[in-house]
Amino acid sequence: MFYAREKELNLFKKFYDEDGFCGLVVYGRRRQGKSTLILESQKYSDGKFVYYQCLNALDNINSNGLISVLTHVFPNTVISENSSFCEVLEYIFSLSINNKIVLVLDEFPFLKDLDLICSFIQSLIQKYGDNSNMKLIISGSHANTMLKLVGVKSPLFGRLKYKLFVKPFDYLDASNFYKNCTDEEKIAYYSVFGGTPYYLSMIDPKKTFEENIFDLLLSENAPLINEINGTMKDEYTKIENASYLMKLITSGKHSYRDINANYSLNAKNSDLAYLLNVLVEIGFLSKTYSINDTTKKHAYYNLSDNLFSFYFTLIYPNLAIKNVVPIDVFYDTKIKNNLFNKYIPLKFENICKEYLIRKNLSGDMNPFFEEIGSFSYNNKKTHINGQYDIVTKDKNGYVFYECKYTNSPVDSHIEKELIDSLAQNNIEYYNLGFFSKNSFENLSDKNYRLYDLDDLFFKNSNKTNK
């Protein structure tokens, strides 16, 4: 089943509508549905679709594989089976003079002599580009390689007009995989399993939320644990240092200074700055700044994938225990309480942020905001520093949001705490917003921005500020 990706498909439509030769690079972490997206886009093209998934094999294996696919699309193909991969590429380019062709080279980083092949493709674009009717799509999951492919030092830099970074689903698109669940269950599923389509496809809708956690993350040879380890080994070879870094971040160390103070004690020979940059580039970590940090010198790091965050927050620190006790005991003593009382409420804040971004992009925020993020403060009188997690900035100023994922309503006590805190830290704002799992009671201003679960899942509820 194919879900969402409207924005990405619109880019494909634009790409296919280009006259003559045009190139597109599709990249992103593995398991994000890049191949499925490319195949889905086929319906928007009137060209012959030559889709080849490259193999981690010798040149002749890939050349024969590409010839086999080409022969299926063009039965009258005449080319020697001893042709090199580059020779097959040139043959396809020559066909594109009189034929509309979409050539897809998926898993491109698997090819041997990648620099040579990139240089050869550059020469083919120069040779045939003016007369070609080809749409060339190069796709891959090995983030480091794909980022270099679109970089300024690559022979293909500037040769491929479009770039598409395929990201995980947000909370709303991810909910298509468990659409019959309650809103609270949808929040829980997204908090644990995140937005990666392949991970979401493993969820069994006939089982409960906790049963899916048992089967996919806690059982012996749990498939998603194997995915986590496999993904990290594939994307970054220094698995031990990366794992330790993620453990630090999920334990509350988010600034470079705090991370470095702990990291250097256990990984003295590792370059922390390099590791952070690599993990940000390939999508494991997010790097953000407070929206009032005009110098952009104080970065905050977080795990950007909820599945990895769940693993490194609740499972990884307790692996020694997990291996010696029954699964149900491990879950009851090490997972359950922290999951529902701490972890999911924390992830709820990210979901609220994703909701605001959705509304802003759709033009439903009035006025629209130009920035969204955290807001840092350093009170010199009280010697207390900290940050507010969700703040937007628009033409009128700042709006501060408070998110509460509890069974109690957001009431005047929570409102007063936020107002008093902002006053104590001399922070100016023009409005407040509140997100509630439950409801709202006795708030003093009817102009506050109030959102509940019905709003998050666009059910247009008639909530009231009692």
**Averaged over 52-80, what is the pLDDT?**
95
Q: Is the pLDDT of residue 97 over 50?
A: yes
Looking at the structure, tell me whether residues 397 and 437 fall in a common domain: yes
Rounded to 5 degrees, φ, ψ at 112 are -80, 160
Looking at the structure, tell me whether residues 449 and 318 fall in a common domain: no
Cis peptide before 367 (omega within 30 of 0): yes
Tokens of 335: 């997972």
Is 357 within a domain?
A: no
Looking at the structure, tell me whether residues 185 and 126 fall in a common domain: no
Under the banding of pLDDT at 50, 70 and 90, the label for residue 20 is: very high
Spatial separation of the C-alpha atoms in residues 151 and 274, rounded to whole Å: 18
Looking at the structure, tell me whether residues 334 and 266 fall in a common domain: yes
Looking at the structure, tell me whether residues 305 and 375 fall in a common domain: no
| DSSP-assigned states of every residue in 184-247 | HHHHHHHHHHTT-HHHHHT--TTS-HHHHHIIIIISTT-HHHHHHHHHHHHH-S-HHHHHHHHH
**Averaged over 450-457, what is the pLDDT?**
96
Is 340 within a domain?
A: yes
Q: Where are the alpha helices (DSSP H) in 285-426?
A: 306-310, 319-322, 327-330, 336-338, 344-361, 412-424
Choice between 150 and 464, residue whose per-residue pLDDT is larger: 150
Spatial separation of the C-alpha atoms in residues 27 and 139, rounded to whole Å: 6
Tokens of 26: 């599709």
Spatial separation of the C-alpha atoms in residues 392 and 449, rounded to whole Å: 12
Is 431 within a domain?
A: yes
Beta 449-451 vs 431-436: how paired, if at all? parallel
Q: Is the pLDDT of residue 283 over 90?
A: no
Is 187 within a domain?
A: yes
Task: Determine the pLDDT at residue 240.
Answer: 64
Looking at the structure, tell me whether residues 144 and 159 fall in a common domain: yes
Choice between 320 and 268, residue whose per-residue pLDDT is larger: 320
Task: Determine the pLDDT at residue 40.
Answer: 97
Looking at the structure, tell me whether residues 254 and 199 fall in a common domain: yes
Is 229 within a domain?
A: yes
Task: Determine the pLDDT at residue 196.
Answer: 96
**Averaged over 414-421, what is the pLDDT?**
96
CATH of the domain at 314: 1.10.10
* Closest to 231 measured CA to CA, from 162, 189, 282, 177: 282
Is 252 within a domain?
A: yes
**Averaged over 202-226, what is the pLDDT?**
95
Share of the chain above pLDDT 70, in %: 95
Residue 451's domain comprises 365-456
Share of the chain above pLDDT 90, in %: 74
Looking at the structure, tell me whether residues 232 and 286 fall in a common domain: yes
Under the banding of pLDDT at 50, 70 and 90, the label for residue 245 is: confident
Task: Determine the pLDDT at residue 466.
Answer: 41
Looking at the structure, tell me whether residues 341 and 433 fall in a common domain: no
- To which residue do tokens 């698995």 refer? 239
Is 354 within a domain?
A: no
Task: Determine the pLDDT at residue 236.
Answer: 60
Looking at the structure, tell me whether residues 369 and 321 fall in a common domain: no
Strands (E) in 383-448, as ranges, are 384-394, 397-404, 431-436
Task: Determine the pLDDT at residue 268.
Answer: 60
Is 56 within a domain?
A: yes
CATH of the domain at 431: 3.40.1350.10
Spatial separation of the C-alpha atoms in residues 291 and 26, rounded to whole Å: 30
Task: Determine the pLDDT at residue 206.
Answer: 94
Choice between 378 and 410, residue whose per-residue pLDDT is larger: 410
- The total of structural domains in the chain comes to 3
Looking at the structure, tell me whether residues 390 and 324 fall in a common domain: no
Average pLDDT over the chain, rounded to an integer = 92
Task: Determine the pLDDT at residue 270.
Answer: 66
Q: Which of 322, 349, 376 is the last residue of a domain?
A: 349
Asked if 239 and 232 count as a contact pair (C-beta separation under 8 A), the reply is yes
CATH of the domain at 63: 3.40.50.300
Q: Which of 143, 165, 187 is the last residue of a domain?
A: 165
Q: Which of 349, 374, 406 is the last residue of a domain?
A: 349
Looking at the structure, tell me whether residues 177 and 112 fall in a common domain: no
